[in-house]
């Protein structure tokens, strides 16, 4: 009998807690809609009590996103639970996720509570959450370091109180796969009423074992797995959704009766979207979604793949929606050809978005001999980003050399008005950033900068990811172009526009 594993995605909650990963409400909505297309069962949209912004984003997702259960996180406090309930009210399917620490170290130093108090608080919180929904999840935080007999007692009590899902977190990534699998088996064997709830797991990657621990848990009775796109999250991150799903699919001999609802052809697009919006570049050697995941350089490997792909590829690129082969369009291609190609890549654009994408495509086709699918994806993602552009790049000129002081002239537009500035710097990128700073009057410190080619050839599209510190806030930015100076300037302006949007929003959002 096939057992469906519930996929609980916490990219918008735990994933967004990663330093520098802050998203706007519109960006969270965009990710949530894509998670539905991916086939995720539960979307943990945020922690409503944590801020007015988080409350509002959870509420908007609850109101606008259909096709998945929308979940909000809450501490075992009535005010948290009531805030989550209010934010989730518009959702057709809603879940309140209540948590409370149960390990000795947390009880002694953080909560300063005895075991009997913890049990009473947990039961009370679950009962209160049940007043607002019949789908309540409870997490004993730091479960992997909790004494087992006490953990069994807590789990039994919250199920009696009405919890329908009990999540077992490896909060600090401490567990080893055999140990964690044995813990799940022990819960199945020692909690009398465990058949009345789904066992879930939430694994962190501090020792690089989040996916391994999650899979061990599934083999030993877990029916839900909590994960994030690209494995993003606090510290070393969470279990990566794509790695868990493809493990279940590829190793059916090990997971015979386990499967998910995930539409794997949406994985690569979802990965790129989250990477683009958070500003966290995916490492080339990242499993499943990394740029090198399906590339072979070794002569022996190349020979084997040419003769039979399965010799060195256990997953086909098409399975996860990875595109990257062949010339798809040229500068003489029309709107219809572009529209049809984008449809085949999974994009549905309205008339205005298609016009913008077509204009960008023509500009790029004039610069590049070959336009690849990766180029088209980047163009469309740029058009669909949804972030209001206060400042836009209209033009730039720069000069420099080994014996010449780098010099840049930048032209920006704001509300139809043109602004120009000239500056020198340590290099053309530095000079460009100083010129932008003169125009925008926004002082920023560059905290991180990286560039990578996202397509092939000498005229490859380059993508810049950076992080700026503006008024003690870390803000990500991203830009793409065949010219690295243009890409760098676009990324800088993207970060500034993001900061201005967040600043404006913080003055208008209220609970």
pLDDT 10s digits, 377-430: 777 766 655 567 899 999 999 888 777 888 999 999 999 999 999 999 999 999
Which two structure tokens, joined as six digits, stand for 241?
A: 């959704």
pLDDT of residue 345: 67
Per-residue confidence (pLDDT) for residue 331, from 0 to 100? 63
pLDDT value of position 508: 35
Mean predicted confidence (pLDDT) in 319-332:
64
Residue 312 has pLDDT above 90, yes or no: no
What confidence tens digit (pLDDT) does each residue in 260-295 have?
A: 999 999 999 999 899 888 888 888 899 999 877 776
Alpha-helical segments (H) within 114-147: 115-129
Q: What is the pLDDT of residues 231-258, one digit of tens each?
A: 999 999 999 999 999 999 999 999 988 9
d(CA 298, CA 265) in angstroms, rounded, equals 27
Q: What is the mean pLDDT of the chain?
A: 88
Taking residue 484's Cβ as centre, other Cβ atoms within 10 Å add up to: 16
Overall average pLDDT of the 185-204 stretch: 98
The percentage of residues in the chain with a pLDDT greater than 90, rounded to a whole number, is: 62
Residue 115: C-alpha distances to residues 52, 71, 170 (Å): 33, 28, 20
- Predicted pLDDT of residue 238: 97
Whether residue 350 is predicted with pLDDT greater than 90 in this model: the reply is no
pLDDT at position 511 is 26
Asked whether residue 452 carries a pLDDT value surpassing 50, the answer given is yes
- The torsion of the CA quartet 203, 205, 208, 209, rounded to 10 degrees, works out to 0
In the prediction, which pLDDT does 317 show?
84
Q: CA 327 → CA 335, 362, 374, 457, distances in Å?
A: 17, 15, 10, 12
Query: What is the distance between the alpha carbons of residues 315 and 305, in angstroms, rounded to a whole number?
Result: 12
Q: How many Cα atoms within 13 Å fall on the side-chain side of residue 76?
A: 23
What is the pLDDT at residue 104? 93
Average pLDDT, integer, range 352-371: 77
Which run of H or E residues covers position 278? Answer: helix 267-278
pLDDT score, position 327: 41
Q: 330 or 316: whose pLDDT is higher?
A: 316
* pLDDT higher than 50, residue 259: yes
Q: Is the pLDDT of residue 115 over 80?
A: yes
pLDDT of residue 507: 39
- Of residues 200 and 284, the one with the higher pLDDT is 200
pLDDT at 302: 42
Residue that the structure tokens 């010339």 belong to: 327
Exposed e or buried b for every residue in 135-159, given b needs 16+ CB within 10 A? bbbbbbbbbbbbeeebbbbbbbbbb
Q: Look at 24 and 198; give whichever has higher pLDDT.
A: 198
The CATH number that domain 3-278 falls under is: 3.20.20.70
pLDDT category at 126 given cuts 50, 70, 90 is: very high
Residue 347 clears pLDDT 50, i.e. is over it: yes
489 close to 481: Cβ distance less than 8 angstroms = no
8 A C-beta contact, residue 282 and residue 275: yes
What's the whole-number mean pLDDT along residues 97-118?
93
Q: Residue 16 pLDDT > 90, yes or no?
A: no
What pLDDT score was predicted for residue 346?
Answer: 66
pLDDT beyond 60 at 297: no
What pLDDT band is residue 476 in, cutting at 50, 70 and 90? confident
Structure tokens, 53:
């912004």
Q: What per-residue confidence (pLDDT) applies to 268?
A: 92
pLDDT value at position 493?
95
SS3 labels along 148-173: HHHHHHHHHHHHHHCCCEEEEEECCC
In contact, 464 and 478? CB cutoff 8 Å: yes
Structure tokens at 193: 């009423």
- pTM higher than 0.85, yes or no? no
CA distance 304 to 22: 44
pLDDT computed for residue 506 by the predictor? 45
The CATH label, of 3.40.50.2300, 3.30.450.40, 3.30.160.270, 2.60.40.10, for the domain at 392-506 is 3.30.160.270
Contact predicate 206/172, CB 8 Å: yes
- Where is pLDDT greater, at 475 or 181? 181
pLDDT value at 364 more than 80: no
Q: Is the pLDDT of residue 367 over 90?
A: no
Q: Using only the alpha carbons of the chain, give its radius of gyration.
A: 25
**Which of 3 and 228 is assigned the larger pLDDT?**
228
Q: How far apart are CA 460 and CA 116, in angstroms?
A: 62
> Using 50, 70 and 90 to split pLDDT, how confident is the model at 329?
low
Q: What is the crossing angle of helices 484-506 and 428-440, to 10°?
A: 30
Alpha helices in 292-372 (DSSP H): 299-307, 335-344, 351-367
């Amino acid at each position: 009998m096939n057992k469906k594993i519930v996929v609980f995605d916490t990219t918008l909650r735990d994933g967004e807690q990663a330093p520098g990963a802050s998203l706007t409400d519109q960006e969270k909505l965009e990710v949530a809609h894509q998670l539905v297309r991916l086939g995720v069962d539960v979307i943990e949209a945020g922690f409503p009590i944590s801020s007015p912004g988080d409350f509002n984003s959870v509420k908007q997702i609850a109101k606008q996103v259909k096709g998945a259960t929308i979940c909000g996180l809450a501490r075992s406090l009535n005010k948290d639970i009531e805030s989550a309930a209010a934010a989730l009210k518009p959702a057709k399917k809603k879940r309140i996720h209540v948590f409370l620490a149960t390990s000795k170290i947390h009880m002694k130093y953080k909560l300063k509570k005895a075991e009997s108090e913890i049990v009473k608080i947990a039961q009370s919180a679950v009962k209160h959450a049940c007043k607002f929904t019949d789908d309540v999840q409870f997490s004993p935080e730091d479960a992997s370091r909790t004494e087992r007999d006490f953990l069994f007692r807590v789990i039994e009590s919250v199920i009696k109180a009405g919890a329908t899902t009990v999540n077992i977190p490896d909060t600090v990534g401490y567990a080893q796969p055999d140990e964690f699998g044995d813990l799940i088996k022990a819960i199945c064997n020692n909690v009398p009423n465990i058949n009345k709830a789904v066992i879930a797991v939430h694994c962190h990657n501090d020792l690089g074992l989040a996916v391994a621990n999650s899979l061990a848990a599934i083999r030993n009775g877990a029916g839900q797995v909590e994960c994030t796109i690209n494995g993003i999250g606090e510290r070393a991150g969470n279990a990566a959704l794509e790695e868990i799903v493809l493990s279940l699919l590829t190793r059916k001999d090990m997971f015979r009766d386990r499967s998910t609802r995930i539409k794997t052809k949406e994985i690569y697009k979802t990965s790129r979207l989250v990477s683009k919006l958070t500003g966290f570049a995916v490492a080339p050697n990242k499993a499943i979604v990394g740029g090198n995941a399906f590339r072979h350089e070794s002569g022996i490997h190349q020979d084997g793949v040419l003769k039979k792909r399965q010799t060195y590829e256990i997953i086909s690129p098409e399975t996860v929606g990875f595109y990257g082969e062949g010339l798809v369009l040229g500068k003489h291609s029309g709107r219809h050809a572009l529209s049809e190609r984008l449809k085949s890549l999974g994009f549905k654009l309205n008339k205005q978005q298609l016009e913008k994408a077509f204009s960008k495509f023509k500009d790029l086709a004039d610069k590049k001999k070959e336009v690849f699918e990766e180029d088209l994806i980047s163009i469309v993602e740029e058009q669909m980003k949804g972030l209001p552009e206060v400042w836009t790049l209209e033009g730039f000129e720069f000069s420099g050399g080994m014996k010449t002081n780098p010099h840049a002239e930048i032209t920006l537009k704001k509300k139809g008005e043109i602004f120009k500035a000239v500056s020198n710097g340590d290099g053309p990128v530095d000079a460009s950033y100083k010129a932008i700073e003169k125009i925008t009057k926004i002082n920023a410190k560059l905290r991180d900068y990286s560039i990578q080619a996202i397509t092939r050839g000498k005229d490859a599209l380059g993508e810049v990811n950076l992080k700026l510190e503006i008024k003690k806030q870390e803000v990500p930015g991203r830009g793409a172009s065949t010219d690295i100076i243009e890409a760098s300037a676009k990324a800088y302006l993207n970060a500034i526009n993001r900061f201005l949007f967040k600043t404006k929003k913080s003055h208008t959002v209220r609970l």
